[in-house]
Amino acid sequence: MSPSERVVIVDYGSQYTQLIARRVRELKVYCEIVPPWVETERVRAGSPGALILSGGPASVTHPEAPQINEEILDLGLPLLGICYGQQLLVQHLGGRVEPADEREYGRAELELSAADEPLFQGVPARSVVWMSHGDRVAKLPPGFRVIGTSSNSPFAAVRGPGEGIYGLQFHPEVFHSEHGTRILENFLGSVAGLRGSWTMDEFIGQQTRELTERIGDGRVICGVSGGVDSSVVAVLLHRAIGPHLHCFFVDNGLLRSGEAEEVEKIFKSDLKIPIKVIDAKDDFISRLEGAIDPEAKRVRIGHCFVEVFEREAASIPDARFLAQGTLYPDVIESVSVWGPSATIKTHHNVGGLPENMHLELVEPLRELFKDEVREVAEKLGVPDALWQRHPFPGPGLAIRVVGEVTRENLEKLRAADRIVIEEIRAAGLYAGLWQAFAVFLPVRSVGVMGDARTYENAICVRCVSSRDAMTADWADLPREVLASISNRIINEVPGINRVVYDISSKPPATIEWE
């Protein structure tokens, strides 16, 4: 990848910042997200070919609003400001931004003022775009001109003096902007001159080289969960360092039905990668005793994983590294690494690790989204049974048992979850869903079974559709499928007399309950 085949996205806290990154990646241009206070040298070191300023929830007129690094502007790169990014650019260069008389949220019609603009090649003179703003540009800086308007935004699209400086009041990255992807493609290609050469083949080659160079003669402990993330990490490492990789599958008692046996078979028979299965059920379940808060569960599980790995590492000469399948959404939701976005939850492999851990982390997938990891898996020859599986959380069923985790509740959940997956597969719906699973609820309700009164627990069924887990919508399953799932769980799982279906989207809910 040429150093210039890179875009830097400055994150001002927008809920859509990650969507910008996804759209840029889909156009085969590598991008990274940085905070507003990023040091100029960090940006310059990557030799980016363009800058994008994201939207954000703040008002640029507020004295404590995040600002722009002037030195970054002085780099002379093609620049696209989106919503807050446009307003910040305008204000910084001498224009004026003020509260809008009418806030504009949702669909609006964009009318182009200049059809020959490189940014709008192939975009109709009128099209639907997505607005989300309370402020608006009132006066342009010297040398700027209008290239697009809407009924409530006379400066919906503007162009700066010289080459390659644009501002959009709307969000081209969201699905509702009809030609938003084309606009971004025009900015990257026609304006910035980027070829779109970043592919997963290039990622595999680059990561293989970097892993080989970084690890050298060291030994790597890789915890395999059976999901696509850790499996891809294992295959990448095996390609890079061969026998210096030591894979472990920890049976923590928090797995789905038959999972340990299935994973061991695939690794040994299909991937030809040695793997050791560690029975640590008692360690994890005893560690979770009394833990009610989901954050406490995640942290305890993360600590227990590290302790198990370090115990195993003690028997391996030169073991220096711990490999994990951390993904970009894990990082975003766990810690505000890149900008002012709020922390949603701690992931056991991001924010739940002990400070005194003796192993150095190796996270080759840290900058990838889930669909990118699946593409890597397919190219690496990972069996479909692994990379086409629905995501499964690192803490396992512990965060699908709401409340305290006990062996009894885990067995009820494991049985219910198996039924959900069996019925979803039987209906031919599995591949079209992002995730489908059961949640054990620590509430009891009255029921009637065999003319007798029951007072037992409930299971919640959760099925969602998504592209990258940043947003998700509940799946409208056929009534007969839901009925079959409910009937089987109530009839086959002792201690369950009620089944409910979760119809919450993300946001405002998360995909998992904890």
Known catalytic residues? Answer: 83, 171, 173
Burial 64-82 (b: 16+ CB within 10 A, else e): ebbebbeebbeeebbbbbb
Tokens 């775009």 locate to 129
| Mode of pairing for the β-strands spanning 319-323 and 219-223 | parallel
Contact 416, 459 (CB under 8 A): yes
3-class DSSP string for 253-277: CCCCCCHHHHHHHHHHHHCCCCEEE
Number of other CB atoms surrounding residue 168 within 10 Å: 29
- Which letter does DSSP use for residue 39 in this model? -
Q: Distance between CA 33 and CA 491 in Å, rounded? A: 50
- The helix (run of H) or strand (run of E) holding residue 438 is strand 435-449
Estimate to the nearest angstrom the gap between the alpha carbon of 316 and the chain centroid.
33
Tokens coding 407: 């062996």
> Which residue type does 130 have?
W
Estimate to the nearest angstrom the gap between the alpha carbon of 300 and the chain centroid.
23
322 has which bridge partners? 221, 361
Does residue 172 have a cis bond before it (omega within 30 degrees)?
A: no
Residues 6+ apart with CB under 8 A from 243: none
